[in-house]
Amino acid sequence: MQPFQLTTLSQSSLQDYMDCAQRFKLRYLDRLSYPAVETEPALENEKHQQEGEYFHRLIQQHLIGIPAEQIARFANTPNLQRWWENFQTARDLTGLRKILQTRREKPGDVSALYPEANLSAPLGQYRLLAKYDLIALQDDKVTIYDWKTYRKRPRNEWLSGRMQTRVYRALLVRAGAHLNHGKPFEPEQIEMVYWFADFPEDPARLTYTSLQFHRDWDHLVKLVGEIASASAFPLTDDREKCLFCTYRSYCERGIQAGDMEQAEAEMEAEELFDVNFEQIGEIAF
Ligand code: SF4
């Protein structure tokens, strides 16, 4: 099969490459769609994922100006109700709610919110793309918010090592100048906040430094150089990863799907439960 000419990379594709080069090849070069059930129980997990996607859309609508009372009417399942209530009351989101309020009361305020912002920058022969849940500017600080509807709170160390954390912060330095009057953000101005809808008072706050930025960007350059020149995409040696992988029967790495609780406990299958914005439908308010 003639491989697809890949021109863009994202945190998801890079994470796939890190997890299993073969998965990266099948998904992004061969474009092989192989709809195996990724986790069990399948129906319950699919519902949870759909609710997670819908929740992202509710927050996005609120951030662009739809009043909370109106949004609350659409939070019409127990999960959505709880998440929305948590979003409204979480102490850690007080700063964000203040920005929203100030913006309503003083339209000239310099604080700025960019929900679902897209950034991109050249990286080797590719373009690196990222879609952020929210970039919030206040004073000289910039916060990347990412909403998570995981059933378990992952460890900060695990989150720090994820490609999402490394790509989102580094790309904001490389490609975020237009949000900062044409001046690139200093890494020290940036903080990434993973806010967990089911653990509202325990977000992960990951600050950034110039040293980390240079380390991350060097790592990304090296990684894409490796991808560009790769002639083989081996199967991972870590068979645990196959348990939650859609290609496992194709690779002859088992038929049975992994268990959702186990997946989340190990947090090995993040992409299964993360939100793909392209899949989110519009909500008519
Ligand atoms: S089943 Fe295993 S070896 Fe095959 S693509 Fe998935 S993770 Fe890689």
CA distance 75 to 148: 16
pLDDT for 39: 56
Instruction: Tell me the two tokens of residue 226.
Output: 């490796």
For the Cβ of 18 lying below 6 angstroms from any atom of ligand 1, the answer is no
Q: Collect all residues with Cβ–Cβ distance below 8 Å to 285 and sequence separation of at least 6.
A: 61, 66, 70, 74
Q: What tens digit of pLDDT does each residue of 180-216 get?
A: 999 999 999 999 999 999 999 999 999 999 999 999 9
Q: What's the confidence (pLDDT) of residue 80? A: 97
> Residue 248 C-alpha to ligand 1 middle, in angstroms?
6
Q: Measured in angstroms, how far is the CA atom of residue 159 from the centroid of ligand 1?
A: 22
Name which residue sits closest to atom 2 of ligand 1, judged by CA: 242
What spacing in Å lies between the alpha carbon of 243 and ligand 1's midpoint?
8
Atom 3 of ligand 1, residue of closest alpha carbon: 235
User: What H or E segment, with its residue span, contains residue 89?
Assistant: helix 78-89
Q: How far is CA 240 from the centre of its chain?
A: 22
Inter-residue contact 14 to 223 (CB < 8 Å):
yes
Q: Is the CB of 245 under 6 A from ligand 1?
A: yes
Cα-Cα-Cα-Cα dihedral of 25, 28, 29, 30, to 10°?
A: 90
172 neighbors 190 (Cβ within 8 angstroms): yes
Question: Can you give the pLDDT at residue 4?
Answer: 67
pLDDT of residue 65: 87
- Distance, CA of 62 to CA of 86 (rounded, Å): 14
- pLDDT averages per 10-residue partition of the chain, 285 residues: 78 96 95 68 78 96 92 95 97 88 72 91 96 94 96 94 97 97 97 97 97 98 96 94 87 71 52 44 49
Atom number in ligand 1 closest to CA 246: 6
**CA torsion, points 278, 7, 165, 53, in degrees to nearest 10?**
10
Atom of ligand 1 nearest to the CA of 21: 8
Does the beta carbon of 20 sit less than 6 angstroms from any atom of ligand 1?
Answer: yes
How many other CB atoms are found less than 10 A from the CB of residue 101? Answer: 11
pLDDT value of position 110: 61
Q: What is the pLDDT of residue 95?
A: 87
Question: What does the block give as tokens for 9?
Answer: 């990379």
78 vs 121: CA distance, rounded Å: 40
The DSSP bridge pattern shows strands 126-138 and 8-10 to be: parallel
d(CA 127, CA 167): 12
- Which pLDDT belongs to residue 260? 58
State in Å: Cα 40 to ligand 1 middle.
17
**Angle, CA of 58, 271 and 9, to the nearest 5°:** 100
Ligand 1 atom nearest to 245, measured from its CA: 6
Give distance in angstroms: CA of 155 to centre of ligand 1: 25
Do 117 and 132 meet the contact criterion of CB atoms below 8 Å apart? yes
d(CA 113, CA 132): 11
Tokens of 283: 């909500």
For ligand 1, atom 4, the nearest C-alpha belongs to 251
Q: Would you say the CB of residue 36 lies under 6 angstroms from ligand 1?
A: no
Q: Does the beta carbon of 235 lie inside 6 Å of ligand 1?
A: yes
Tell which one of 18, 23, 27, 233 to mutate to probe ligand 1, the residue whose CB is within 8 A of the most ligand atoms: 23
For residues 193, 86, 260, 46, the Cα torsion angle rounded to the nearest 10 degrees is: -110
Does 269 contact ligand 1 (Cβ within 6 A)?
A: no
As given in the structure block, the two tokens for residue 101 are 């309020």
pLDDT the model gives residue 246? 86
DSSP 29: I
Burial readout 36-65 (b: 16 or more C-beta within 10 A, e: otherwise): ebbbbeeeebeebbebbbbbbbbbbbbbee
